[in-house]
Amino acid sequence: MIRSVSVKSAVKDALEAFQFDQWIRFYFIQEKGEELWIEIPDENIKQIQEDHPHLHRFADLVNNAATDYQRSQENLCSYIAARLDGQKYEQTVLPQVFDNATFKVEMYIFNVWLKMHEQHLDEEYMTFNGWLEMYDGWNSQEEVKEYRAKLLESGADPQIPECTTAQ
C-alpha cells in the first residue's frame, strides 16, 4: 500500500472526522440517568455505511456507549490514529496535522458555523451529507473567505480540541 505524505490531504481527512463526530453528538446523544449516551438508530447506521463507509467504523465505535467530552476526544483521536496514522499517511504526517494552522482555523470556522446555525440544525434531523452541503454553502460566502484569510494571516491560534493520543 502506498501511503501519502500530504499534510493538506490529512488535514481534510481529520477535519471530516471531527465534523462527523460533531454531527453524531448533535443528533444522537440521549440522557440515561446521570450519563449521556450515543444511540444511533439502525436505519441511520445503515445510511452512514452507505454514504460514508470510511466513517462507519467510527459510528460503530461510539454507538450505544456513554460519552462525555473526554471520551469523545479519546475515541476520535484513537480512530484518527488507527485509520490514518501509518495506514493512509506516513507516520510523520499526522502529528503535523493538529499543529497545522489550516486545521486549527478550519475547525474554528466549522464551530462558528455550528453555533450560528444550531437553531436551524435543531429544527429537524439532517444527514451528515446535508450538514456538509449546508456548511459548504455558508463556507463559500465571501465574508467567510475573508474572515478565514484574516485568521490565517494573523497567525491567531483559535482554540480547538487537541489529540493527545500518541501518534
What are the tens digits of pLDDT across the range 26-57?
999 999 999 999 999 999 999 999 999 999 99
- Residues facing 35 on adjacent strands: 32
Q: What is the pLDDT of residue 5?
A: 62
Distance, CA of 12 to CA of 106 (rounded, Å): 9
Helical pair 53-62 and 42-51, crossing angle rounded to 10 deg = 150
User: What single letter denotes the amino acid at residue 145?
Assistant: K
Rg (CA), the chain: 16
pTM for this entry: 0.87
Q: What is the pLDDT of residue 156?
A: 60
Q: Which regions of the chain are under pLDDT 50?
A: 1-2, 161, 165-167
What pLDDT digit, counting tens, does each position of 110-127 carry? 999 999 999 999 999 999
As a whole-number percent, the residues of the chain with pLDDT over 70 amount to: 90
Q: What is the pLDDT of residue 114?
A: 95
